[in-house]
A and B are shown apart, each in its own frame.
Chain A
Amino acid sequence: LCAAADIQKDLGEMVKKDKVVVFMKGTPAQPMCGFSNAVVQILRMHGVDDYAAYNVLEDQDLRQGVKVFSNWPTIPQVYFNGEFLGGCDILLQMHQNGDLVEELKKLGIKS
């Protein structure tokens, strides 16, 4: 129980430490799931290269903890400025309707 509380606190800090934070299966260089790969590709298309990516496959506590933290049942998960943005479907739709460019602008990232 103590470990679970710790990871929630850690996650609060992890999502705020970098402007763009992704929890995914695998790494940006080697995604281990199509959905995680889609997120990596979308970010790349918008010229977002500098972001924090955490591999949930390497840490089961992190994998379960992040689902509780965001109240979101699936991986990948994307955070902008410490705020939960969504999973793969949401990022894809924001990419398609232009909202992603606007959100990145708010972060000072020009895509």
Chain B
Amino acid sequence: MVVSAEHIKDKLTKELGATHVDVEDTSSNRCAASFKVLVVSPQFEGKQLLQRHRMVNTCLAEELKEIHAFEQKTLTPEQWEKQKSQ
């Protein structure tokens, strides 16, 4: 499986109900497929950071087998609005 930024974005949007997803392909800095994602989803509300990251990991479990490095940031829509206004 070849993992693309587009594929990751589609999957997170569909399966985590993400309202905003940024996917940066950081492969060029490293030796293999690498991505940095920002996920904004109302499903993260009331969840600890670890739980949120686990949700993303579970969603992308198949893809992560092919990915060398993966960075993530998980925000609720409220946190995202606050961050944008800063």
Contact = CB atoms under 8 A, between A and B. Distances in A.
Interface of A: 35, 71-74, 84-90, 93-94
22 contacts: A35-B71, A71-B54, A72-B54, A72-B57, A73-B57, A73-B61, A73-B64, A73-B65, A73-B70, A86-B49, A86-B50, A86-B53, A87-B53, A88-B71, A89-B71, A89-B72, A89-B73, A90-B49, A90-B53, A93-B49, A93-B73, A94-B49
Contacts, number: 30
Q: What interface size band does chain B fall in?
A: 10 to 19
A42 to B, nearest CB: 15
Contacts of B50: 84-86, 90
- A interface, by DSSP: helix, strand, loop or mixed? mixed
B64 A74 contact: yes
Nearest to B36: A89
Nearest to A88: B71
Interface in B35-64: 49-50, 53-54, 57, 61, 64
A78 to B, nearest CB: 11
B32 interface: no
Nearest to A73: B64
Nearest to A87: B53
A101 B71 CA distance: 22
A90 B61 CA distance: 18
Nearest to A85: B50
Nearest to B60: A73
B85 to A, nearest CB: 18
Given A35-B71, A73-B61, A74-B64, 18 more contacts: A35-B69, A72-B54, A72-B57, A73-B64, A73-B65, A73-B70, A74-B69, A84-B50, A86-B49, A86-B50, A86-B53, A87-B53, A88-B71, A89-B53, A90-B53, A93-B49, A93-B73, A94-B49
